[in-house]
Amino acid sequence: MPRRERVWLAAAALGWIAVNGAVLLLAPNQAPFDWPAQHDPPSGSGQVIAAQFTLVELLLLGVVGYALTRRRSDPAIAERIPPGPTAHREIWLLIAYGVLAQIGGLLLGRAVGWHPIGFHLAGTLVGTTDPIRPAEAIGWATYNGLTYALLPYLWLRRRYTTHQLCLRSADRRGDVVLILVVLVLESLAQWAVLGHAFAGLTAGQIAVGAPLTFLLYLAGTVLPTVIFVQGLLVPRYARLTGSTTGTLVLGGLTYAALHVFEGWGRYGSPHEFVLTILFVLLIYALPGAFKTWLTVRTGNAWVHAWAYHAVAPHTLHDTGLVVRIFRL
């Protein structure tokens, strides 16, 4: 393994240990978050254990994905980005834009009486006891779709092709096989851990709620991740670091950072603020790194969307939330 890869791997391992240790230190028992969809109140120890299960699951999915793609040529996504100052300048412009978009979502959400507009609708995956109206769900999806997907795409599409933006498949058959295998395995894992996703819903509620959930989350978090993170930032991370491991680390951290203003987050004190950031890292950094690995491995940012995002987990686990919001 090249020295650069070893350095990034060591940094990632130390960072992961530090985050887990800090969570256990600050919230060994109950954490101050509203997660009614969980079987037990959230706790630091419980989340640390869950994070290790996620790590093992994603490593296994990675092994399966590697076996399915081992005969592919390297897509070399770093070579799709001009070297030198161009890549650096575009990375910093995109990061600054992302920070402003997050702050804008926070301010807009608060101004109209909603939760902060982050990368997830309030109540996603963990549930919420706060009332959420249809206008908030639609506003969340619209803001994110425009801010993180459409506008950045229009900005860079004038200078780069869909191939350079990792938005076109070079092996459709191989991508479809990878998507289906990962989707089936991830769906089975989700059901094994969290139970039947549509429990308690009628056939009519599922028939309307599942497509509506798919469309809302497609606009609100899937397309923003495809375009802003995987299509725009990940190839530039690859060019900047010259390291696959470094690209995965930065992709995972970026994906986590975009979830800082989750609806369940608490910022009333320094302790709550730090704990919110730590929980966000525990929950989202690993999935973000796996999404990035799928892009690096295939050169196609769409693979993660269908294999490990739009259907599993969101449609499978958030249909009940959408059914309640829209009173279907």
User: What's the total number of domains in the chain?
Assistant: 1
Q: What is the pLDDT of residues 280-290, one digit of tens each?
A: 999 999 999 99
Asked if residue 59 belongs to a domain, the reply is yes
Q: What is the pLDDT of residues 255-312, one digit of tens each?
A: 999 999 999 999 889 989 999 999 999 999 999 999 999 999 999 999 999 999 999 8
Asked if residue 93 belongs to a domain, the reply is yes
Give the pLDDT score at 63: 97
Cα–Cα distance measured from residue 137 to residue 116, given in angstroms and rounded to the nearest whole number: 12
Asked if residue 49 belongs to a domain, the reply is no
Q: Is 175 helix (H, G, I), strand (E, B) or coil?
A: helix
Cα–Cα distance measured from residue 232 to residue 288, given in angstroms and rounded to the nearest whole number: 14
Contact predicate 260/280, CB 8 Å: yes
For residue 281, which of 41, 44, 37 has the smallest C-alpha distance? 44
Q: pTM for the complete prediction?
A: 0.95
Asked if residue 27 belongs to a domain, the reply is no
Question: Could you tell me the residue range of the domain that residue 277 belongs to?
Answer: 54-325
Asked if residue 115 belongs to a domain, the reply is yes
Contact predicate 30/41, CB 8 Å: yes
Q: Is 311 helix (H, G, I), strand (E, B) or coil?
A: helix
Contact predicate 165/157, CB 8 Å: yes
Burial of 9 (C-beta count, 10 Å sphere; 0-12/13-18/19+): middle
Q: How far is CA 226 from the centre of its chain?
A: 10
Q: Which residue has 């575009």 as its token pair?
A: 90
Asked if residue 236 belongs to a domain, the reply is yes
The torsion defined by the Cα of 146, 77, 290 and 217, in degrees rounded to 10, comes to 20
Asked if residue 266 belongs to a domain, the reply is yes
Give the pLDDT score at 232: 96
Count Cα atoms within 13 angstroms, Cβ side, for 322.
Answer: 27
Give the pLDDT score at 197: 67
Tokens of 157: 């599409």
Give the pLDDT score at 191: 79
Give the pLDDT score at 192: 72
Helix runs in the chain, H state only: 3-26, 44-69, 85-111, 134-144, 151-157, 172-194, 203-217, 223-224, 234-241, 244-257, 270-298, 302-307, 316-325
Q: What is the pLDDT along the chain (328 residues), one digit of tens a residue?
A: 788 999 999 999 999 999 999 999 998 888 888 888 776 778 888 899 999 999 999 999 999 999 999 999 999 999 999 887 888 899 999 999 999 999 999 999 999 999 999 999 999 988 888 889 999 999 999 999 999 999 999 999 989 999 999 999 999 999 999 999 999 999 988 877 666 667 788 999 999 999 999 999 999 999 999 999 999 999 999 999 999 999 999 999 999 999 999 999 998 899 899 999 999 999 999 999 999 999 999 999 999 999 999 998 999 989 999 999 999 9
Asked if residue 195 belongs to a domain, the reply is yes
Cα–Cα distance measured from residue 130 to residue 161, given in angstroms and rounded to the nearest whole number: 43
